[in-house]
Structure 1
Amino acid sequence: MLNDNAPIRVLVVEDEQLIAMMTEDMLEEIGCRVVATAHSLGSAVELAQSVEMDLAVLDVNLKGQESYPVADQLREQGVPVIFLTGFGERGIAERFKEVPVLTKPFTQDALREMVMNLKRGK
């Protein structure tokens, strides 16, 4: 699924600038390469169509809009997703129950574990 030798290319979708920057830093510190960051649903949809990535980290709630259209699009492309949310797994739509969820605030270790699980195909 994910190449063992190359850095994992990640799309970050987060409407809160500071959380986006923190997430980018965490990903880079664990050896990933952030290829793009979107702060709105519209830009996330565009980037999902145009950027090559191995993984996407999506905030579920983007200024009142759910990121599920992006998750659907990425699922069709075979790109794994990690959801970020302040509501935990109970706030995730039923059709995405298998998608890993990081509850805000999250740690770098928790993010690393999810990324590595996806890399191993778990």
Structure 2
Amino acid sequence: MTEQALKILVVEVDFLVAQKLANEIRARGDEVIGPFAHASDAIARLDSVQAAILDVRVQDGTIFPVADTLISSGIPFVLLTAYDHRHIPNRFHGHGIYSKPSSALPLLDNLHREHDLIARHHETDMAVVVLKVLERARGMMPDGGSAERMVEAVLVEAIAEAERGRRPDDLRAWLMTLLDREFAQRGRMHLH
């Protein structure tokens, strides 16, 4: 058992796999939120989780909207898939991707390690937040140079907004939102 028990969201479409994961999570001393087979059910519970194990394919499509929300919230997660890992968008490649079936133990080790790393670094620490934004940008862009150019544009925009009096309560979430907007509006511009 780890030092701190985590509340772990489980989204898994296969009932037997979900039950096996839930049992292994509880045996390790963590709390299970779920399991759910629909992304919509999982989204309703995101405010009460500290980590997540997500099946890529769920009954209402893919789990990617849930994963995006977890990234924005700074909540660690791992993905489970029975498909080729190449079908998973690049923005998720910085997170653990495991082939099904998988024992819960390596997944839990990954989640606890990520959670502990986040806990050691306060999310208001600018250096840590910028590194997390850069990590996410590297998952969105095809190379490090384009990711760095995109993060630079985000930081310039953040400074401009701060000078206009915008002071976010959650620095990390705010910068992640600016990153998403920059990628959607001008992502291609940063490729050269």
In structure 2, the CA distance between the partners of 1:108 and 1:15, relative to structure 1 (3 Å rule), is closer
For the pair 1:115 / 2:111, whether they are aligned, the reply is yes
SS of residue matched to 2:42: helix
Query: Given the two structures, how large is their TM-score scaled by the length of structure 1?
Result: 0.82
Q: Could you say which residue in structure 2 is the equivalent of 1:28?
A: 26
Distance in 1, Cα, partners of 2:84 & 2:113: 19
Unpaired runs of at least 5, structure 2 = 119-192
Which residue matches 1:15? Answer: 13
Aligned equivalents of 2:76, 2:112: Cα separation in 1: 12
Greater strand fraction, Structure 1 or Structure 2: 1
**Partner SS, residue 35 of structure 1:** strand
Per the TM alignment, residue 84 of structure 1 is displaced from its structure 2 partner at its CA by 0.8
Q: 1:99 Cα deviation (Å)?
A: 0.9
C-alpha distance in structure 1 between counterparts of 2:60 and 2:40, whole Å: 13
Which range moved further: 34-43 or 93-102? 34-43
| Larger gyration radius, structure 1 or structure 2 | 2
Contact 1:102/1:110, CA 8 A, preserved across alignment: no
Give the one of 62, 67, 85 matched to 2:58. Answer: 62
Q: Residue type matched to 1:53 in 2? A: V
Deviations along 1:23-54, whole A, 9 cap, x unmatched? 11111122211133221121122222xx4111
- Residues 117 and 5 from structure 1, CA distance in 2 versus in 1: closer, same or farther, beyond 3 angstroms? closer
1:31-50 to 2 correspondence within 5 Å?
Answer: 31-48=29-46
1:102 to 57, 75, 98: 98
Q: Structure 1: state its 5+ residue gaps.
A: none
Who is 1:85 aligned against?
A: 81
Equivalent-residue separation in structure 1 for 2:107 and 2:51 (angstroms): 12
Asked whether the 8 Å contact 1:38–1:47 carries over to 2, the reply is no
CA RMSD of aligned residues (A): 2.1
Which TM-score applies when normalising by structure 2?
A: 0.55
Match of 2:186 in 1: none
Instruction: Give SS of 2:18's match.
Output: helix
Output the amino acid matched with 1:40. H
Q: 1:108 to 1:77 in 2, by over 3 A?
A: closer
Query: Which has the larger share of helix?
Result: 2
Give the direction of change, closer, same or farther, for the CA distance of 1:64–1:38 in structure 2 (3 Å limit): closer
- State, as a whole percentage, how many aligned pairs show the same letter: 25
Equivalent position amino acid for 1:79 in 2: I
Could you tell me whether the CA contact under 8 Å between 2:77 and 2:111 is conserved in 1?
no
